[in-house]
Structure formats: structure tokens, C-alpha cells
Structure 1
Amino acid sequence: MGAGVLAAVLLVVSTALAIWYTARQDARPPSDAIVVLGSAQYNGVPSSIFEARLEHALALYEQGVAPVIVTVGGKAAGDQFTEAEAGRDYLTAAGVPADALLPVQEGVDTLESMRAVGAAFRERGWGSAVLVTDPWHAMRAERMAEDAGIDAESSPTRQGPAVQTRATQLRYILRETAAYLLYRVTGESVAGAPGIG
């Protein structure tokens, strides 16, 4: 009994440390596309979390990391816009050409969205991506992308509410640890929270 508890504790701690380590990395290899994970939008206007991700993706695009930015995410009941549309429109207004934007308007959580992105990549013969999300979400997003057939690395945003305070960071790491372990055990995702679905 004691050994089982110790093993469980070690698994949780090692996963949390891996999430923390991945959050501190910033990979920007030349890729087929930059994939921006969606977050809340309000009547077509990205939330502060989503805006921080979009601004970071824009910077990567301007640095020549990839020729296309993929915006990702569906819409909740009652919404007029998908997260992918809100992201595309934001980047269009920032000067990104229409042919350099691909909205993938599916998914209510990271897993559904990444599977839809994987299908879009296969249709176009793409294989590699740089993922843009919050630091604490990066490890799980990378895993889900790889499971969807994408050679993925992440360049997390360093701006926005998810990285403002130590308490916020700790809360996100704990939530992501639970979400990552759930995904590895069940193959399912956790919906309903910003950056954790």
C-alpha cells in the first residue's frame, strides 16, 4: 500500500516538474505552420488570454518561423463567432494576409481542436508545427498534437493573465498536472476551463 502511494506521489510530482520545465522552453524551428490554441472570445473579440497568444503568434510569423498561422477553436452555445474566426479576424486586422491564415473552427477543448488540426495538416501534406499557448498548457498541447500526427514543439506566450503571479502559475500547474495525467490514462480531455480543456 505504501509503495503504491509513493509511486502515485512521484508520478504527480514528476509530471508537475515536467510541465514546469516545458513551460520554460521556447522552440521556434522552421515549421509548416504556427498553431494558436483558442481561448475565450466575446462577440468576436479575443479575451486577454487569447490576445496574448495571438500577439505571440504574430511575432513568430513576422520572424519567419512559418508561412501560415492556424487559428483554432469552435464556439460555445449561443456564440456568434468561433474562437478560430475571432483569432483570424484579429490577425487580419494586424496585417496578416488572408492566404497566410487558416481557421480550424472545430473543437470545444484542446483534444478536439488538435484532432481537427491534425486532419487539416494531413489534407495539406503538412507535418510540423510550432504551438502557441500558455506556458503551463504547452506540454499537454504538444502531446495531443503529436498523437494527432503533428511533429510539434511549443513557443508559449509570456504575456497575459496566466503568467501574472506566482499563485496563478501554481494554480495552472496543478490543474494541468491533473489534466495531463487524465489524458495519458484515459485518452480524454477536460473541458470547461481556459487553457485546460
Structure 2
Amino acid sequence: MSHPPESAQPGRRGRAAVWARRTVLGALLVASLVLGGTAFRVWQVALVDQRHSADMIVVLGAAQYNGDPSPVLRGRLEHALELYRDGRSEHIVTVGGNQRGDNYTEAQASRIWLVEHGVPERDVFEAEFGSDTLRSIRAVSELAGRHDWNSALIVSDPWHSWRCRTMAEDQGLRAMVSPTRSGPTGEVRTAYILREAAAMLFYRVMHASADITGYGLD
């Protein structure tokens, strides 16, 4: 049995190495395009304000300190209050659990703030479960089912809007977003958009939440 000359062996190894490098570079290029396209969609939806009428206005939770909403949460509550006063819905759903040792949940702190600012207690509903976005949206969906509500106007931060809306739609709700106009800016904004895009891709593939913390946002 004849064998190729030894001089041919490095050529074959070299060609294999070239194809391996091309495969890796191609995979990296595809991954970059997918992440970039997803990040663009995060940015695109962040600019949308779908403040149409809905069965409920949903305020996604953020940090609270012994019943006092953090600046991020207060911004969401002020926006939800504006929507409520504009007649976009007769019901506001506050969302979010608590950390160990907390006296209040995020939902409770939000409800207290809204009532103190003139919203009748009968119009505010709490969904106190959910330590991440997906669990929060599922809690909202369960509450909506009990009240025969089908549509939601979701209030969160701009860069969080697409993922919130997608998760709510996957739970069977007709979901719209009306984001606050606060949130990270500059380099921090870019980093947050990319991380939010990665979280969205994770959700698409795994159907699970990969929530982002940092920059004062949940």
C-alpha cells in the first residue's frame, strides 16, 4: 500500500487548519450579526410608546427600601400614574417580591405609593411574586386570568421593553409597552442594551429568564 510523500502531509494539515480557522471566524461572524440584530431590536422597541387602552397597567418591580420606592421604581410609578390619569386603564397591577429581611415587597411599596398619590385602593392590584422578569410576567398572567383581563400596558425601562412584551405575549396576553424615559445613558446604555440582547437570546433559546442586574435596574 502506497503512502503520500511526507512532504504532502504538512499541506493537508495546513489546509485543515485554514478550514478550522474559517469555521471559527464564520461562527463568530454569525454570532456577532445575531447579537447585533437583537441589540438593534432592543433599541428600536425602546423608542416605542404604545400607550393604548388596556385592561391593566403593569408596573414591573425594582428596588424599594423599607416601603420607599427607589428612584428607578419611582420613575415607573410616576409614568404609570400618568397613564392611569389619562384613562388608559382602570386597573394598575404592581409587581415584585422582596429580599430576605425586607418588610415590604416591591409590589406593596408600589401600591402604597400609588394610593398615596390618589389612586383608589380598589384600582390597585398586587402580584407579589417574581424575582425575575419571567416569574413576574407569569404572576401577572395568573392575576389577569382570575379577573378575565386580556390586555396589558407594561411600564418598565426603555431597554427592557421588548423582552417584557415578548414574555407577556408568550403568556397569552395582548401586550403593549409604554416605557419610562429614564435609564442608562452613554457607555452604560450601550453595555445594558448588549446585555439585554443577550438575555433576550437566552430566553428565545431556553424559554427561561436570565435577568440582568446592575445599573439600578431589574
Selected match of 1:179 from 179, 189, 199: 199
Q: Distance in 1 between matches of 2:189 and 2:113?
A: 27
Selected match of 2:190 from 170, 178, 182: 170
Selected match of 1:129 from 145, 152, 161: 152
Deviations 1:34-75 (A, max 9, x none): 000000001011110000000000000000011111000011
Q: Please state how far the C-alpha of 1:8 moved relative to its aligned partner.
A: 1.3
Secondary structure of residue in 1 paired with 2:141: helix
Could you state the TM-score of these two structures normalised by the residue count of structure 2?
A: 0.85
Contact 1:137 / 1:195 at 8 angstroms: preserved in 2?
no
- Give the aligned length: 193
Q: Please state how far the C-alpha of 1:187 moved relative to its aligned partner.
A: 1.1
Residues 94 and 108 (structure 1), Cα distance of their counterparts in 2 relative to 1, 3 Å cut: same
Deviations 1:118-152 (A, max 9, x none): 01111111000110000000000001111111110
AA partner of residue 93 (structure 2): V
Larger radius of gyration: 2
Contact 1:19 / 1:177 at 8 angstroms: preserved in 2?
yes
Q: Percent identity?
A: 46
Aligned pairs for 1:98-113 within 5 A: 98-113=121-136
- 2:85 maps to 1:62: yes
Q: Please state how far the C-alpha of 1:172 moved relative to its aligned partner.
A: 1.6
Contact 1:40 / 1:46 at 8 angstroms: preserved in 2?
yes
Contact 2:35 / 2:194 at 8 angstroms: preserved in 1?
no
Which stretches in structure 1 are left out of the alignment for 5+ residues?
A: none
- 2:74 maps to 1:24: no
- How big is the alpha-carbon RMSD for the aligned residues of Structure 1 and Structure 2? 1.2
Q: Distance in 2 between matches of 1:13 and 1:77?
A: 37
Q: Please state how far the C-alpha of 1:188 moved relative to its aligned partner.
A: 1.3
Q: Distance in 2 between matches of 1:21 and 1:191?
A: 20
Selected match of 2:94 from 48, 51, 71: 71
Q: Please state how far the C-alpha of 1:5 moved relative to its aligned partner.
A: 2.5
* Ranges of 4+ aligned residues in structure 1 off by more than 6 Å: none
- Which residue of structure 2 lines up, in the alignment, with residue 46 of structure 1? 69
Contact 2:199 / 2:211 at 8 angstroms: preserved in 1?
no
Selected match of 2:38 from 7, 10, 15: 15
- Which residue of structure 2 lines up, in the alignment, with residue 151 of structure 1? 174
Q: Distance in 1 between matches of 2:116 and 2:33?
A: 47
Contact 1:111 / 1:189 at 8 angstroms: preserved in 2?
yes
AA partner of residue 180 (structure 1): M
AA partner of residue 67 (structure 1): E
Deviations 1:136-177 (A, max 9, x none): 000000011111111101000013xx24x3223212201201
Q: Distance in 1 between matches of 2:188 and 2:81?
A: 25
Q: Distance in 1 between matches of 2:211 and 2:165?
A: 17
